[in-house]
Structure formats: C-alpha cells, structure tokens
Copies of this chain bind each other. A is one copy, B any other.
Amino acid sequence: MIGKYTKSLLLENKESYLIPAENVATVLYSHPLEHALLVLSKVGYSKIPVLDSSDHLVGLISLANIVDRMMDLDGFNSEILDGLSVADVMEVDVASLRQEDDLEDALHLLVDASFLPIVDEDNVFGGIITRKEVLKSVNHLVHEVERRYEFVAREKEVNEKLNN
C-alpha cells in the first residue's frame, strides 16, 4: 500500500497523468499495415493503440511488429506488407486500466509497459498513462517529500543505520 502523504504528493500533478485520447496517435485494426508504418515512423512513439471503428481498444501495434513481418529469407522486403492490415500483426494481449484504478496498479504495470491504455467499462479508449508523465510526478515527490516532512523512523534501528 502506498501511504497517504506519498500518494498525495504523487497526485499533485494528477491532471497531467492522463494523455487524453484526442492527443494520442492511434490506428484502426482495418487500416493497411503500410499506413500504420507511416504513422509510427512519424509520431515519435514506437508503439500505439489500435481501435475499432467505435473507439474500442482492440490491441497495440509497434514498429517492431511490422518490421518483423517485413523480413523474409532474403532480408527485409516492404512488398510483403501489401494486402496486410493492422489486425494481422497487432498485439492483442494488452494490459489496460480503468481511469478509476489505483495509482498503485499503474506504477506496477508501468514497470513492464512504456504506457498503459485507459478504457471505460465498455472498453472504449480514453487515453494513455505514460512512464514519462509518471516520472515527472516521481521527480516532484522525491524533491518535495523531505522539504515538507520530517522523517521519524518507526523502528529506531533503521534510522541509526541510515545515519551512519
């Protein structure tokens, strides 16, 4: 469990945590793969969410997913992509969060994912939480916490050890 003072400091910039859907590059699962490659090469992210035509989250697609598929026995061949769609190479086993989920869940899941898609109860995509934004809050926390609070060790031994 994250203590209340720590959590409060981490959440002081909460409004900046979520990058809303309208500011996130996405592709449709039915898009041609070459279109996804174009978006990914321009957008500055190596992986983006894949939606259906009703904005439900259906997967993620990365540059590596597409480049992998371009490889044949002779090397890389972009013609292999002709006729393929995003659905053919996207990752479908995707960790996502509800907006009301705990900061604790987000911090754990972000150890293994560079961003987390946020969905509502109908799985409609609402935006992403990124390691980048969370690290801004972490910087705020670690710089502020001992300015605001004096730390008193709950067990005397621990404090003595740290002071030596």
Residues of A within 8 A of B (CB): 1-8, 10, 34, 37-38, 40-42, 44, 46-47, 62-64, 67-68, 70-71, 75-78, 81, 107-108, 110-112, 114, 131-132, 134-136, 138-139, 141-143, 145-155, 158, 162
Contact = CB atoms under 8 A, between A and B. Distances in A.
B150 A8 contact: no
A162 B80 CA distance: 58
A132 B46 CA distance: 16
Contact of A162 (B8, B71, B150): B8
B150 A154 contact: yes
A129 to B, nearest CB: 12
Contacts of A149: 151-154
